[in-house]
Amino acid sequence: MRLSKIDPRTPPEPSRPRRAVAASASPTPSRRVFLLSATAAAAAVAAGLVPRLVRPAQADDARRASAPEQFEVAYSDAEWRKRLTPGQYEILRQEGTERPYSSPLNDEHRAGTFACAGCALPLFSSRTKFDSHTGWPSFWTPLAHAVGTRSDTTFGMVRTEVHCRRCGGHLGHVFDDGPKPTGLRYCMNGLAMTFNPQAA
């Protein structure tokens, strides 16, 4: 019989793995998809589609970093220190924050205008002031062309910083929990402003 020719003590010859044979014969679908995707991505880069999606944001960031804001009223740091009290300097030029309920302007209820303590630009009308119960003078809108804003990411938060449009002095922050009609709360440091009462 043929079976008698096989020695049972001899182990069978190992068979070649089928996957290895299949891989060497032709590309698998996953490899084909990968090659097509890589080719498409390379074509998109060559055509300029990807740079158009990425470059504007990078260019804007670089432009902002290299070109600081220019203000109509600008003094050296030494000059600002001469013109302002230590408290005003800390807030307006170093973006500090006064203690809540420490400013007399929080309790100012007369008719008049709140102006920048750095350059005297009128910032807010008393008609837009309200009691936010936060301890800082609060307004639901500034006067036209009075303030500027920028993103503030200090202390691990994303806030909107408010500064004087003319001298760049830091005033405070604006939040979206204010009253109607704007729904905004311009939370200002009293030391950053002066008050000019309205003539009777």
Q: Which helix (H) or strand (E) holds 154?
A: none
The domain 77-197 having CATH identifier 1.10.10.10: the answer here is: no
> Sheet holding 112-116: strands in order across?
122-125, 112-116, 193-197
CA count, 13 A, side-chain hemisphere, 167: 24
Phi then psi for residue 173, to 5 deg, are -140, 160
Quote the pLDDT of residue 68: 74
Q: Dmax of the chain from CA atoms?
A: 128
Which residues, in sequence order, are CB contacts of 199 under 8 Å at separation 6+? none
Query: Which one of 116, 164, 167, 187 is the catalytic residue?
Result: 187
Q: What is the pLDDT along the chain (200 residues), one digit of tens a residue?
A: 444 454 545 455 544 444 443 333 444 445 544 444 545 444 443 444 333 333 344 444 444 444 678 899 999 999 999 999 999 999 999 999 999 999 999 999 999 999 999 999 999 999 999 999 999 999 999 999 999 999 999 888 899 999 999 999 999 999 999 999 999 999 999 999 999 999 75
Which residues, in sequence order, are CB contacts of 98 under 8 Å at separation 6+? 87, 91, 136, 189, 190, 191
| 175 touches 184 (CB < 8 A) | yes
Domain boundaries, the chain: 77-197
Using a 10 angstrom Cβ sphere, with 0-12 exposed, 13-18 middle and 19 or more buried, the burial of residue 124 is: buried
Q: Identity (one letter) of the amino acid at 53?
A: L
Q: State the Rg of the chain over Cα.
A: 34
Tell me how long the chain is: 200
167 as an active site residue: the answer is no
Neighbours of 128 (CB within 10 A): 19
Quote the pLDDT of residue 9: 54
